[in-house]
Every structure is written in C-alpha cells, then in structure tokens.
C-alpha cells in the first residue's frame, strides 16, 4: 500500500472513532435501558435478524462454547425475548426464534440509534448524502461478504438436509462449515 493510501485509511479510521465517541452517550443510553448484557443483546440481534437458529448456530455466531450460549439463551427465554420451538423436520432440534417482545425491545434500541443517525445526516446536503450512500453500499456489501458466507452456507445446507430428513448430514456439514470459517 502506498503511504498516501495508508494516510487516508488512518484518517478515515480516526474520523470514525471521533464520530463514535461523539455519539457515545446517546448510543449507550438506549443500550443500558434495555437491561441486557452485551452478549445478550448480540444474541438477541442474531436471533431477530437470522432466525431460526439452533443453539450451536448461535454459539458459533457469538464465538462462545455451546454451554455458554445455552446460559445466554436461557436468560433471554426467561425474559420472554426469544423462544425455543421444535424443528418441524426433527423434533429433537430446538430452534431459537424471537418473540414479539424481543422484536419490540430490539426495535426500540435500534430506533433510538436510527433517530440519532438521522439527526446527524440532516446536516449533509443532497450531494453529500448521495456520496455517503454510495460509499455505505460498497462497505455494506463488503461486510456482508466477509461476515455471513459461512453462516449462510451452513443455513442452506442445514435446510436442504432437513428437508431430506437427514440431520446427520446437516450436522456434518455444519462442522465442516465452521471448521472452514
């Protein structure tokens, strides 16, 4: 990389950090009001945005051991933010799905952040907003490509194996996908 590019990357990262620091109070207020730990909030976000998930799927996404994920799940179930339901193809498999209360709580946290971001965006003119939209679209695509492929492949393979009624294949595929990621 050229030193000019390194300088640009450093400047962008510094500006991102400055923006995050300036919004820290607003960001943390809605998170603290949820009375969830960081791991519980992360788990709820994954369940809301990627359900249905198994305990193993969630453990993988959280990068924790399955027994740790089980504890997080239990606390979210007790608060009625997520529920466990049976997989229609294999009753032994429990799927994690968000409850209406869980969706509402996460929506409230996200809505608060969205309103704060909107107020900042109102400071930009149309040309700046269009440029920002273009940059964010590229970053969003890059982030999705780097974060979700192994999970999406796992979900597709699990779904195919489940519809064929062979969870053993899905489990073997899941192990292979996780080992590759």
Segment 70-110, tens digit of pLDDT: 999 999 999 999 999 988 888 888 999 999 999 999 888 88
Neighbour tally for 86: CB within 10 Å: 11
Residue 70 and residue 156 in one domain:
no
- Range among 102-106, 168-172, 177-181 rated most confident: 102-106
Tokens of 172: 């073997």
Residue 3 burial class via C-beta count within 10 angstroms: exposed 0-12, middle 13-18, buried 19 and up = exposed
CA distance 119 to 131: 18
Q: With 70 as the cut, is the pLDDT of residue 170 above it?
A: no
Residue 115 and residue 179 in one domain:
no
Residue 94 and residue 30 in one domain:
yes
How many domains in the chain? 2
Mean pLDDT, all residues of the chain: 81
To which H or E segment does residue 84 belong? strand 82-87
98: CATH: 1.10.10.10
Domain range for 43: 1-123
CA distance 55 to 92: 12
pTM of this prediction? Answer: 0.63
Residue 96 and residue 134 in one domain:
no
Band (46; pLDDT cuts 50, 70, 90): very high
């Amino acid at each position: 990389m050229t030193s000019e590019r390194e300088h640009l990357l450093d400047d962008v990262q510094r500006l991102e950090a400055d923006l995050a620091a300036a919004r820290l109070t607003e960001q943390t207020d809605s998170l603290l009001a949820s009375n969830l730990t960081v791991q519980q909030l992360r788990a709820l976000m994954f369940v809301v945005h990627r359900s249905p998930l198994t305990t193993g799927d969630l453990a993988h996404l959280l990068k924790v051991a399955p027994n740790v994920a089980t504890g997080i799940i239990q606390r979210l179930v007790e608060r009625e933010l997520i529920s466990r339901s049976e997989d229609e193809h294999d009753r032994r498999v429990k799927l994690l799905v968000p409850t209406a209360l869980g969706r509402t709580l996460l929506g409230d946290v996200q809505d608060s952040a969205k309103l704060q971001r909107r107020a900042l965006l109102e400071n930009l003119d149309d040309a700046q907003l269009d440029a920002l939209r273009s940059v964010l679209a590229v970053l969003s695509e890059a982030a999705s490509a780097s974060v979700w492929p192994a999970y999406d492949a796992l979900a597709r393979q699990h779904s195919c194996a489940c519809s064929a009624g062979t969870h053993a294949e899905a489990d073997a595929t899941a192990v292979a996908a996780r080992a590759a990621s």
